[in-house]
Structure 1
Amino acid sequence: MFAEERQIQIVRELNVHGNVKVAQLSEKFKVTVETIRRDLEKLEAENKLVRTHGGAIAVESRDDDEIPFNDRTILNREEKLSIVNVAKQLIQEKDVIFLDASSTSLYLAKELPNLNLTVITNSILIAYELFSRSNIQVVMTGGNLTKSSLSLVGPSAIRTIKYYHINKIFFSCKAFDMDRGISDSNEQQAAVKREVIEMAEEKILLLDYSKIKKRSFVFIEDMNVLDYLIVDRKADLQYLQKLKNSEIKLLVGE
């Protein structure tokens, strides 16, 4: 695990529990106590926590949407790459695919196979990643700019989506629960995803282990709309066993 990823997870622990202990973090992340102390010193210098004797306390809680996109890209990087390596195998010549504005979809954009494709996206970062690929036609939605993720949302984005026949949507979310389904923390992002899910022939959810057995603010869709659920090897596969009784294909990245 990279230091940056570990530090992001430390802040998340603080936001959930309000405080952390050096010894517990050392055991959790399998690094030395000295390494954790250096992490806490750095995070305190960035005003993300206040160090105490033997640990730290939170400065304030932060929603995932307030975490800079670059930090979210670093978080669970290896797991996201393993998911993407499976997802790209589902893409075929002349597919029209939609990639949402998630960090996992950005990784998928970087790994797209050398095929003739049309990629529709509301992510400026994904469009920029693909603009030089001569074999890929890139279509951007209109909409209002969300600065935290450099993505486009709102009525204009949704209207654009209605014009296209989409073979596959590859998307992520903030939370997945077997009973509650797929949910997100941002209403406008959820609305865009909901519209594409309705339009697309195949729905493919890219889900790293940290989002499973959780619920977020905005309901997107029931899990039964999915054709594929792609997870990493750290995912709670026992929890996902219920999918065997559904038509959803569960794929696991290595």
Structure 2
Amino acid sequence: MNLIDRHEYILAQLKKSEHVTVMQLCKDLNVSTVTIRKDLKQLEDSNLLFRTHGGATNKNPYIIDRNVFEKEKFYSNEKALISKCAVSHMESHESIIIASGTTMHALADAMDSNMELNVITSSLQVSMKLNQFPAVEVLQLPGILRKSSISISGHYAEQILGDYFCSKLFIGVDGIDITYGLSTTSGQEAKLNKAMIQSAQKVIVLADSSKFGRKSFGRICAIDEIDIIITDYGITPYYKEEIEKLGVKLIIAE
């Protein structure tokens, strides 16, 4: 197979699955890893793909920060399905942590107003929503207001979390990369998320399928440090298989 044919094959595979690995391409095309890596570099130089660790993707894996009102416009139906599924993992009389972000806003909207819960949150919007629920006790974390997400971050919030331990943490992320792990656009928010993980028995990540194969500025943790990922039907077979290999339970919301 010549150069042009290999490039056409690689782009066709990306169109089908959004991600290809060097090893699989070597096997399919019967060429060396050196040849495939050169092919991927040439295609990236032509702005036809983005190289990743061990392969390539057809979507930009690097995330820029957007404000919460922009983010709420994207994947709203998927976030609603994911949130409805996440609520089924809550039990009355639990103490839980809810992080920040648009998926956490959708989670608060999906919650049963009659549930009896203790909730710690960094999100002002989640606090305002849950404040309307008569049986929910809300602890709003203090600290620096991050305007783009309307949430709190900083040392004060991290320090207070050290005095509490909850049964579950529900957290949204900006990126999930197999090798880099979970990430968010804010370094301060990533630090707070790490503290939340230390204060929870079980970590449940709510992430629509667009978050897979992407990475951002602030790394939160490795994938195998969490317990459950709830996502939508758009997740590719590659990421489904890789996440399950890491021993993390993957739930597809329907």
Question: Normalization by structure 1: what TM-score?
Answer: 0.72
> Distance in 1 between the 2:239 and 2:248 partners?
14
Q: Structure 1 residue 105: deviation in Å? A: 0.6
2:78 counterpart residue number: 79
2:32 counterpart residue number: none
1:202 counterpart residue number: 202
Aligned length: 192
The unaligned stretches of length 5 or more in structure 2 are 1-62
2:33 counterpart residue number: none
Q: Structure 1 residue 64: deviation in Å? A: 4.0
1:153 counterpart residue number: 153
Q: Structure 1 residue 199: deviation in Å? A: 1.5
Tell me: CA distance 1:148–1:242, structure 2 relative to 1, closer, same or farther (3 Å). closer
> Distance in 2 between the 1:247 and 1:95 partners?
25
1:102 counterpart residue number: 101
Question: Normalization by structure 2: what TM-score?
Answer: 0.72
Q: Structure 1 residue 244: deviation in Å? A: 2.9
The unaligned stretches of length 5 or more in structure 1 are 1-62
Correspondences of 1:183-202 after superposition (within 5 Å):
183-202=183-202
Q: Structure 1 residue 239: deviation in Å? A: 2.2
1:90 counterpart residue number: 89
Q: Structure 1 residue 242: deviation in Å? A: 2.4
Q: Structure 1 residue 78: deviation in Å? A: 0.5
Correspondences of 1:226-237 after superposition (within 5 Å):
226-237=226-237
Q: Structure 1 residue 153: deviation in Å? A: 0.7
Deviations 1:42-62 (A, max 9, x none): xxxxxxxxxxxxxxxxxxxxx
1:52 counterpart residue number: none
Q: Structure 1 residue 102: deviation in Å? A: 0.9
1:129 counterpart residue number: 129
Work out whether residues 116 and 136 of structure 2, in 8 Å CA contact, stay in contact via their aligned partners in 1.
Answer: yes
Give secondary structure in 1 for the equivalent of 2:219: strand
Give secondary structure in 1 for the equivalent of 2:88: helix
Work out whether residues 223 and 246 of structure 2, in 8 Å CA contact, stay in contact via their aligned partners in 1.
Answer: no
4+ long deviations beyond 2 Å: 242-247
> Distance in 2 between the 1:143 and 1:64 partners?
23
> Distance in 1 between the 2:83 and 2:72 partners?
13
1:68 counterpart residue number: 67
What residue identity is the alignment partner of 1:122? Answer: S
Tell me: CA distance 1:243–1:146, structure 2 relative to 1, closer, same or farther (3 Å). closer
What residue identity is the alignment partner of 2:209? Answer: Y
1:251 counterpart residue number: 251
What residue identity is the alignment partner of 1:78? Answer: N
> Distance in 2 between the 1:237 and 1:97 partners?
31
Q: Structure 1 residue 184: deviation in Å? A: 1.4
Deviations 1:184-204 (A, max 9, x none): 110011011010111100000
Q: Structure 1 residue 131: deviation in Å? A: 0.8
Correspondences of 1:161-200 after superposition (within 5 Å):
161-200=161-200
Deviations 1:24-58 (A, max 9, x none): xxxxxxxxxxxxxxxxxxxxxxxxxxxxxxxxxxx
> Distance in 2 between the 1:96 and 1:219 partners?
26
> Distance in 2 between the 1:249 and 1:82 partners?
17
Give secondary structure in 1 for the equivalent of 2:69: helix
Q: Structure 1 residue 96: deviation in Å? A: 1.0
What residue identity is the alignment partner of 1:68? Answer: N
Q: Percent identity?
A: 26
Give secondary structure in 2 for the equivalent of 1:219: strand
2:221 counterpart residue number: 221
What residue identity is the alignment partner of 1:239? Answer: Y
Superposed CA RMSD: 1.5
> Distance in 1 between the 2:145 and 2:244 partners?
40
